Structure 1
């Protein structure tokens, strides 16, 4: 980096190196200095110390982007280089491999791609979308949707930038990131303490970054039942779309006229569709809350979520990630017969990089390790697997016999829930997803322990299973209804009668009705491929019913 920016590093200072170590290492932590630590250190201003880097203007913006690109690329390289180090395979697959004579871990397993642990990746964003749906399952539809945009005219930013008269606020994205992170946390605290919309039951937000704009926060929150809006007239008590009286409310008028009016148009954008005869023909006001606008002096768009059909759209909107597009132009080649049926190679890491865009504000936010997602209450993901089909992690050189004998590796939230119901009857009235009301999951020991605090418990969410997974998909549906199960056999027991296949339970009449009345292509999308002899009105070929469904 110093060689790429000689104007910022006049003396040829050395950049980050893997050999760097911390002088005072934290307890129980590695002493190595990561690349993230190094660039985070450079972005901090020191008292009475002039730093040429922080005064670089637009060149500093480019430096921040390049610095975070190095950080993110090193993380992606780790996932790429370590895909084959750890193999992930079903426990039953290990038994099958031993019976076939395969004793080494490298002989079985599946390829690992960009996982959900990578912050900002597609799987990461989809995981948070499912977490939002889990909160919606418990608390119902959210009541309010807020978009909170950073304001460079905040006194905190103006006071700091007054020390650098030659710089503009956008030349210090690190300072903007710090202030907006404080403001976002302050907004959540304000909603919970001052209660401008009532008592908050749950909330979640996502930080997004525009290409040439300022960072903004998309916030969804739920209020308690007593504070919900009952009629259309009550909306005016919380949301307004009018220009205030400049004489009666001068402060609110200044905020609304400067930050909440439709734009840009006028002289700034004369070709805007709203322009007519040289002036704006709309002049509408973005919906706002008076209390929030006066307190935060920023663009805060407040919308009431009154249409339940848009709920999934809202959740997808706040977890969509950065705007990106990727396309590929290639020439069709007549492949030999033996390669026509070959599976295409999908590189999720490269696909992510090809559509990636990083602005200075996002780079500063991520270098400073500020979170891009927040939710309350927490969501605990619960595993779903068939008997002896849980995922286990092992290395290439591990002996498979040792993997099978390791009981700790085979423990999951599902197996321990069944074991707890065998020895403790206090939680047998709860479903699998509701078990967190009484116990909490200890990840280090892989056991359920009884809750000892009065804090809001986490919300359970069954891990997503695609309908084409077959038995595992229907087992997941059974777990949404069964209570107090003590074994996998009891999960498949309905009204005291064991069923032959998992597909026979959980509102089977709904699936039979869908098969009978719905189009066949819809069924293939929902439940996977159907038998070839299955006609439009023959649900019996899908499953054999052995008992009367209530």
Structure 2
């Protein structure tokens, strides 16, 4: 049993209390016993199968193992092996070890500069993940991004860093499109709060919203590309919020602000990531808030929508003994381009949460003039079946109107009005394999 045990609760005169907190776990230990230690727990499913019954008796009662019935133990083993999913998994490990006693298999994740860095980046945390080989198909296509005036667009990114990231764009009302510097300061801050007047916000900003240290103080920081700062920190200090010539905001960062020590390096306001104090206090997490007034800023979100699934290059090495020369080993290496499915993304999809979301949803409805609709069929389809298919005469627009309880006459009039307002050249098409 593993977990954080609270021993301080028993310092009084009350009855003894056992209390555990945080994330509890069950330690299964090694799959094979080490040294002269007898097998126990999950090792009983894998190690020394010929003596499994005796090993189980010794594990339960080392002093008097003969008091157990061997036949009853075998019946229980067969029942568990047949119906228990976890037991079946351990048996597979046993079978694998029994077949490949003279071979070693290892898996390595490869970092390649030629691959897409946002998709093929290596994980920076220790986590459980599934590698799915060959998970690339026609469904992995680019998406059409349509931006409308209205409420929100967001996408969820799984960066192989533990918890997922949400990238959100909120479209403001036209009266709020070009706020003043005072309006921006009410929403976005880029300074370390005073620890005396606002201690709670100060501690949260120092924990979640400080970039670095980087540069000469820490050249190994992930934001460093050689000797260059990829995130453009540290930021210039200024006494008021302004907008530069390219339309980007320059947030207020006072030179006389508070300084904190992080990794033995002093950090000031020029290392603060812009934030909203209300959101930061409510969620206690890294929440970067920016004011975007250019299409280049909005593209920052859309690149994650088009990014596709996380992937990784996996190298599997298989070493086995040469049958002709037992002293010689053959090494085989194979490389796979795999889909990287972390535990957070798996849970996200199991619960059916949205990966990409927008409101209001936009759906393109196709319409056509009578008998001028496109028709798609295969070359081995019967002509009579194609001609008699009643769905060919109904456009997507008519179907949508039908779902909204409109009459046939109303639908036809609406479609004709649409054609008059948006004249388009319609052609009859068919798809035939040559």
Task: Name the TM-score class by shorter chain.
Answer: 0.3 to 0.5
With normalisation by structure 2, the TM-score equals 0.46
Structure number with bigger Rg: 2
- Structure with more of its chain in strand, by fraction: 2
- Structure with more of its chain in helix, by fraction: 1
With normalisation by structure 1, the TM-score equals 0.37
